[in-house]
Chain A
């Protein structure tokens, strides 16, 4: 009963937030900001804790799994375009993952973040299910990583169109790769507003970024963490 109520409420508030954001695209109304705030406003008066809510709505979180599997379809559909642009995808996404890890690391040192924050923030630019695995792998806190992944998505979705405009990026390929690389699924969601090609490249960037980051998790990241402990 409580499960159904939590899921129903989340879906309703989500679709309301989504509609609102479509009509008034200002960042405070982003569905990933507004919807959680609305939910908190609803559950608090009923003395439902965030943990009770999350276990009630766990089915929605679970759907991230099949949603990741579902990305096989756009990849399959756009196979010829991928083959044609394989080198661009690989080079720009490898660069992107390196910049993501190195800049997060450098800024964490500059801000003197504690080691839990420092390690958990490193896999922040990839899609949640894989970021969680990487976080466990490198000794971070998966919950903290999830939060950082979500912040990355919200920020990326908001600044994305501005960055594309300022850098006057014209090709759908570069737009899509940049959005998917920097803001995973949320970036891909944004890329869909530009068009099918942008969405495809964004999806690809997201998937490749996840794979490449898993490789860095076994090589570059342990080396960086080792540096901090000297």
Chain B
């Protein structure tokens, strides 16, 4: 029963994905259909056209199992011989260093502003 509910809600979420694709085709913009769909569903929730109970369980499952949807693309890595070269190794090192810097800076900036705001309101 619970699985059926989740499946139905995911089906319903697809309506917004395809609405997003329609808007994208109509306006000819390079924003991904899923991003436009996100925006449309958000508006529909705000305007109470869609009740949160209609989508909450399906959306919760999709978000919780997000890693699963990356798995097939991750298997595709073996198609890329380039990755197993020096350039590939360097790129992975680059990604590690850069991700570390991005995470550190973002956390630092957010924390600093947060603390300052905290003091102002206190």
Contacts and interface: CB of A to CB of B under 8 A. Distances in A.
Interface residues of A, number: 98
A26 interface: no
Q: Interface extent on B, as a size class?
A: 35 or more
Interface string B21-55: 00000000011111101110110011000001001
Interface string A120-131: 010011001110
A21 to B, nearest CB: 10
A121 B91 contact: yes
Interface string B72-116: 111111111011000100111111111111111111111101110
B interface majority secondary structure: helix
Contacts of A119: none
Contacts of A140: none
A221 to B, nearest CB: 13
Interface of B: 10, 13-14, 16-17, 20, 30-35, 37-39, 41-42, 45-46, 52, 55-56, 58-60, 62-80, 82-83, 87, 90-111, 113-115, 117
5 contacts: A104-B95, A107-B97, A129-B32, A183-B99, A189-B66
